[in-house]
A and B are shown apart, each in its own frame.
Chain A
Amino acid sequence: MSIKRKAAIVRYLLVAGLVALWEILPRAGLVPELFLPPLTKTLLAAAGGAGDLAYHLGVTLQEILVSMIFACGGGIISGLVLGASLLARRLFLPLMSGLFAVPTVVLYPLFTAWFGIGAESKIVFASAYGFLPTLLGTAAGVQTIDRHLIVVARSMGATRFQQIARVYVPATIPTVLSSLRLGGALVIVGVVVAEMLTSTAGIGFLISKYRTLLDSPNVFAAILLVLALAIAFDLLVQLLERRTVGWRHAMRSGTAGYA
């Protein structure tokens, strides 16, 4: 058996073991149920509060969707534009990556002061949270595109418009997808964290509410829901990326590689 398979088996055993511990430790009284409610109780709480969860999930999803348009849409488009212009890159990229060091969370109270505690402040915050990394990721990705692809198009008599539409845009799709993946994940976190801090609705709000009620099973249930959301989104984008796997292949190696 190869090392990879052995390692995979060990990994599955580890995870299975952890899940088992999740159930056993609290039930055996080794860990207070407040800190770690048994898995089964958590799942039951989720099932029990399904209607409530669904409503708040809806609120959260709406905020996520709108934020994604700004953060990912805006981030990707600016990243593409920035990536295409050497001057813009040299001017703005160092400034932007300098800003990256600033913890964006501190802006949230500012946004609640400006926009109130409703959906708007969450959207502004999550958009700001996801925008910069998406932009940086896209701009970096655009730089890895093989410039020669455009030269070849020119040699075939392509007009400027054709060069952009038929070569540049398709070539950027793998980058766009991976930026979407990154930006989307950040937007999800941004929205939920904002809801946790000050809100009247949404999954984050639920998490906070149950925490103050010391209702651990529901806290864990809501957190699991967020995780499921994040993972589902990630898998969705990965599915799209899989269809473009061959594209990345050829771009990174550049020259004709293997025989």
Chain B
Amino acid sequence: MRSEIKITLLRIGIILAVFGAWEFAPRVELIDARLLPPLSDVLATLRQLLSTAKFWSHLAATLHVTIVAFLIAVPLGAVLGILIAESRFALEVFKPLIFFIFSIPKSIFLPIFILVFGIAFWQKVAFGIFSTIFIVMMTAFAAVESVRADHLRVARSYGATTFQTVTRVYLPSMTPVLLEAVRLAMIFNFTGILLAEMYASREGIGNVIGAWGQGFQLKQLLAAILLVAGLSIIFNETIRYFERKCEHWRG
């Protein structure tokens, strides 16, 4: 137990050291402050941005796209994935295809999405869905396969109805894997949407990050990067927390 605390303290120490370097290196002129403004300046800029309506509208736009894409891609991918995985034949046909498509880089198709959809809301959503759906399907395959055959047999031998089998065996078995799907899906989704915004869009966090980069406005740029990083990490760790709670179900 004691070593656990030691390690956690050391980890916090590492993070603090990195932030400390960020703060002091530019101040003592180790690094050009125009290239890397001190952390406190960046945080001040962030606070300022968060009080501007303009910034919030960009943030809202991004979150809007992200959530819509997420809410379409995840259920759609999960349902498709489960349906395919349930049929042995369908699984044999589609699994290699899905794996193959997953392994090829999807970011390079972004220009095609722009050709087809333009640069508005639905293009970003479509690209987000495209970036996400395959990982969800693959995770759904794993989820179905993870439901142990013997657990199912036991349920069946006790005369469980389909509904009971779904709720008492499938769902608890699949929950950890489905949580993982949600976690990974969001990573791919958010990445795809930010990319779409940076590439060609008139609004959104990705768009302003790109603009600030070009305009050499590093304080705002770094502030936005911190915000994005913070949001992603919080979401990720929250899901991980729930995954850990379900871990012991996996058996």
Which A residues lie at the B interface, using CB under 8 A? 3-4, 6-8, 10-11, 14-15, 34-35, 90-92, 94-95, 98-110, 112-114, 185, 188-189, 192-193, 196-198, 204, 207-208, 211, 214, 216, 219-220, 223, 226-227, 230-231, 234
Tell whether, in the assembled complex, residue A109 and residue B198 are in contact, meaning their CB atoms are under 8 Å apart. yes
Which B residues lie at the A interface, using CB under 8 A? 7, 10-11, 14-15, 35, 88-89, 92-94, 96-97, 103-105, 107-112, 114-116, 187, 190-191, 194-195, 198-199, 206, 209-210, 212-214, 216, 218, 221-222, 224-225, 228-229, 232-233, 235-237
Docked pose: A219 CA to B109 CA in angstroms? 10
Tell whether, in the assembled complex, residue A220 and residue B112 are in contact, meaning their CB atoms are under 8 Å apart. yes
* Contact among A35, A95, A198 with B11 in the assembled complex (CB-CB below 8 Å): A95
Docked pose: A87 CA to B157 CA in angstroms? 48
Tell whether, in the assembled complex, residue B115 and residue A214 are in contact, meaning their CB atoms are under 8 Å apart. yes
Q: List the 9 closest A-B pairs by CB distance, nearest first.
A: A109-B213, A7-B92, A101-B236, A103-B191, A189-B105, A211-B111, A101-B232, A7-B93, A102-B229
Docked pose: A198 CA to B195 CA in angstroms? 12
Tell whether, in the assembled complex, residue A103 and residue B228 are in contact, meaning their CB atoms are under 8 Å apart. yes
Give the residue name and chain of the A residue nearest to B213 (CB): A109
- Known A-B contacts A105-B194, A105-B198, A107-B225; the reply to A211 vs B213 at CB < 8 A is no
Docked pose: A226 CA to B111 CA in angstroms? 13
Docked pose: A114 CA to B199 CA in angstroms? 19
Residues in B whose Cβ lies below 8 Å from that of A223: 108-109, 111-112
Tell whether, in the assembled complex, residue A3 and residue B88 are in contact, meaning their CB atoms are under 8 Å apart. yes
- Known A-B contacts A106-B209, A207-B111; the reply to A193 vs B195 at CB < 8 A is yes
Tell whether, in the assembled complex, residue A11 and residue B107 are in contact, meaning their CB atoms are under 8 Å apart. no
Give the residue name and chain of the A residue nearest to B111 (CB): A211
Docked pose: A104 CA to B195 CA in angstroms? 10
Q: With a 10 A CB-CB cut-off, give which of B88, B198, B216, B225 has the most chain A CB atoms.
A: B198
Docked pose: A8 CA to B93 CA in angstroms? 6
Residues in A whose Cβ lies below 8 Å from that of B212: 109
Tell whether, in the assembled complex, residue A193 and residue B108 are in contact, meaning their CB atoms are under 8 Å apart. yes
Tell whether, in the assembled complex, residue B206 and residue A106 are in contact, meaning their CB atoms are under 8 Å apart. yes
* Contact among A94, A108, A231 with B104 in the assembled complex (CB-CB below 8 Å): A231
* Contact among B92, B97, B107, B209 with A189 in the assembled complex (CB-CB below 8 Å): B107
Tell whether, in the assembled complex, residue A208 and residue B111 are in contact, meaning their CB atoms are under 8 Å apart. yes
Q: Closest CB of chain B to A92's CB: distance in Å? A: 8
Tell whether, in the assembled complex, residue B195 and residue A211 are in contact, meaning their CB atoms are under 8 Å apart. no
Docked pose: A223 CA to B109 CA in angstroms? 7
Tell whether, in the assembled complex, residue A112 and residue B198 are in contact, meaning their CB atoms are under 8 Å apart. no
Q: What are 16 A-B contacts defined by CB distance under 8 Å?
A: A3-B88, A7-B89, A7-B92, A11-B93, A91-B7, A99-B233, A100-B187, A101-B233, A103-B190, A103-B232, A185-B103, A196-B111, A223-B111, A223-B112, A227-B108, A230-B105
* Contact among B93, B108, B235, B236 with A196 in the assembled complex (CB-CB below 8 Å): B108
Q: Closest CB of chain A to B122's CB: distance in Å? A: 14
Tell whether, in the assembled complex, residue A197 and residue B218 are in contact, meaning their CB atoms are under 8 Å apart. no
Tell whether, in the assembled complex, residue B213 and residue A113 are in contact, meaning their CB atoms are under 8 Å apart. yes
Residues in B whose Cβ lies below 8 Å from that of A11: 93-94, 96-97
Docked pose: A114 CA to B233 CA in angstroms? 25
Q: Closest CB of chain B to A106's CB: distance in Å? A: 5
* Contact among A100, A112, A216 with B115 in the assembled complex (CB-CB below 8 Å): A216
Tell whether, in the assembled complex, residue B14 and residue A110 are in contact, meaning their CB atoms are under 8 Å apart. no
Docked pose: A11 CA to B222 CA in angstroms? 47
Tell whether, in the assembled complex, residue B228 and residue A110 are in contact, meaning their CB atoms are under 8 Å apart. no
Residues in A whose Cβ lies below 8 Å from that of B199: 196-197
Tell whether, in the assembled complex, residue B89 and residue A101 are in contact, meaning their CB atoms are under 8 Å apart. no
Residues in B whose Cβ lies below 8 Å from that of A106: 194, 198, 206, 209, 224-225, 228-229
Docked pose: A223 CA to B108 CA in angstroms? 7
Residues in A whose Cβ lies below 8 Å from that of B191: 103-105
Tell whether, in the assembled complex, residue B235 and residue A101 are in contact, meaning their CB atoms are under 8 Å apart. yes
Docked pose: A220 CA to B116 CA in angstroms? 13
- Known A-B contacts A106-B224, A107-B225, A110-B221; the reply to A219 vs B112 at CB < 8 A is yes
